[in-house]
Amino acid sequence: MGEVDPAFIQEFEHRPKLAVVEAQGIPQIDLSPFINSSPPGNSPAIEDLVNQVRDACKDWGFFQVINHGVPIEVREKLQSAAKRFFDQPVEEKKKVRRSENNPFGYYDTEQTKNVRDWKEVFDFKVEVLKSTPASYESDDNPTPWPDNPPEFREASEEYLKEVEKLAYKLLELISLSLNLHANRLEAFFSKDQTTMFRINHYPPCPAPDLALGVGRHKDAGALTILAQDDVGGLEVKRKSDGEWVFVKPTPNTFIINIGDIMTAWSNGRYEGAEHRAKVNSTRARFSIPIFFNPSRSTVVEPLAELRDEGKPAKYESYNWGEFLAAAERNNFKKPDVNTQFIDFKK
Ligand SMILES: O=C(O)CCC(=O)C(=O)O
Ligand SMILES: [Fe+2]
């Protein structure tokens, strides 16, 4: 990306510190009791796991998981395909670029809060069997799959299949942690889900003290499952003191964070945390988030079981399909003028 264009420079208060705060990092949770038993019973191990998930969602909005059931080979295959794709000349990558009519594909001019991000991305559509026509805007845009590397599509689809299983397990755990039935959230995802799969590539940056790979933000969806490589750069804003905390890369873990939809469903019991990605001057970094999102027709609102007279709804209802359509439109033209989740806070 060459020298640092002023469009990448963060305002002074948002510039990253190069020193790393690592103490008291996000919780690490071992999913083995839940992954290995199907259906999971009511054992003390499960109860303990559910308690850990509840604490992590409340205190951090973020956690890491180990023994998550996703085979390492599937992840490695995608990581090497992604590297081969992004290693190509930019003209090659632009053959599959995002366009005004199709929000999927390659993109290298993303902004967060009106400042350019030092990254390039490839966004995939998660194909689902359509049982009903989408109610808001067509979502008929297929992913513009690149010819090279030839294994890119297969590696992506295999990875998605495995991570989706993990996502459903996490939805069950989160439901249990909110004292809901394990399957309470599943129906929101069962048809026309709008899950989005992204590969972020952060090239080395000559000014890692001025720019960010991704500026501070919260994820708008329900749940994000992120794989990061061994370079490191993700920072989470710790709720207890507002400090930016580095998420140390740990091999074969996934980073889970709750998004704004979960904040609304839980009626504020859980709240997604701000996070950002730093860059560095020597090593390129990759991260692969899957934004696990419900169907377009979902009306997002605090779940009935989690509101009553003592705890009235803290958020207005909103239509996810409309929200997403506005975000997709604005993202191409003028980022960050779209409706924000915070607008729905009562
Ligand atoms: O690269 C990372 O670690 C974070 C990426 C991220 O937050 C996002 O793509 O929403
Ligand atoms: Fe994010």
DSSP letter for each residue of 258-307: E-HHHHHHTTTSS----EEE---SS--EEEEEEEE--BTT-EE---GGG-
Rg (CA), the chain: 19
Which stretches within the chain are classed as H helix?
32-36, 44-59, 72-86, 90-94, 152-177, 260-265, 320-333
Nearest alpha carbon to residue 64 among 232, 260, 203 = 232
Separation of CA 128 and ligand 1 centre (Å): 24
Ligand 1 pocket: which of 226, 231, 276 to mutate (most atoms <8 Å of CB)?
Answer: 226
Residues 6+ apart with CB under 8 A from 312: none
pLDDT value for 220:
94
Q: What is the pLDDT of residue 191?
A: 80
Atom of ligand 1 minimally distant from the CA of 287: 1
216 phi, psi to nearest 5 deg: -60, 135
Kindly give the number of the ligand 1 atom that is closest to the alpha carbon of 119: 1
- Ligand closest to 279 (CA) is 1
Ligand number with the minimum distance to the CA of 229: 1
The pLDDT of residue 12: 87
Alpha carbon of 305 to ligand 1 centroid (Å): 32
Q: How far is the CA of 214 from the centre of ligand 1 (A)?
A: 7
> Ligand 2 mean position to 308 CA, how many Å?
31
Task: Identify the DSSP state of 311.
Answer: S
The Cα–Cα gap between 224 and 309 comes to: 31
Q: How far is the CA of 218 from the centre of ligand 2 (A)?
A: 6
Nearest ligand atom owner, CA of 196: 1
**DSSP letter string, 232-252:** --EEEE-TTT--EEE----TT
Helices and strands per DSSP (H, E), number in the chain:
7, 16
Instruction: Give me 143's structure tokens.
Output: 């992913």
Mutating to test ligand 1, I would choose from 200, 250, 253, 285 the residue with most ligand atoms within 8 A of its C-beta, which is: 200
Q: Which atom of ligand 1 is nearest to the CA of 255?
A: 3
Ligand nearest to the CA of 290: 1
Q: For tokens 């799969």, what's the residue?
A: 197
Atom of ligand 1 nearest to the CA of 291: 10
- According to DSSP, the residues that pair with 124 across neighbouring strands are 197
Neighbours of 303 (CB within 10 A): 16
Q: Which atom of ligand 1 is nearest to the CA of 224?
A: 10
Give the residue, by CA position, lying nearest to ligand 1 atom 8: 289
- CB of 292 closer than 8 Å to CB of 174: no
Ligand approaching nearest to the C-alpha of 122? 1
Distance CA 124, CA 78 (A): 13
In 3-state terms, what secondary structure has residue 14?
helix
Q: What is the pLDDT along the chain (346 residues), one digit of tens a residue?
A: 557 899 999 998 898 887 666 656 899 999 999 887 666 667 889 999 999 999 999 999 999 999 999 999 999 999 999 999 999 999 999 999 998 888 899 999 888 888 999 999 999 988 653 434 444 444 566 888 999 999 999 999 999 999 999 999 999 999 999 999 999 999 999 888 899 999 999 999 999 999 999 999 999 999 999 999 999 999 999 999 999 999 999 999 999 999 999 999 999 999 999 999 999 999 999 999 999 999 999 999 999 999 988 889 999 999 999 998 888 776 655 444 446 788 888 8
Task: Measure 243 CA to ligand 2 centroid, in angstroms.
Answer: 17
Residues with Cβ within 8 Å of residue 47, at least 6 apart in sequence: none
Please tell me the distance between residue 120's alpha carbon and the centre of ligand 1 in angstroms: 12
Query: For position 100, what pLDDT does the model report?
Result: 80
pLDDT score, position 2: 53
**pTM (2 d.p.):** 0.92
**Pocket (CB within 6 angstroms of ligand 1):** 198, 200, 214, 219, 226, 228, 233-234, 275, 277, 287, 289
The interface predicted TM-score (ipTM) is 0.99
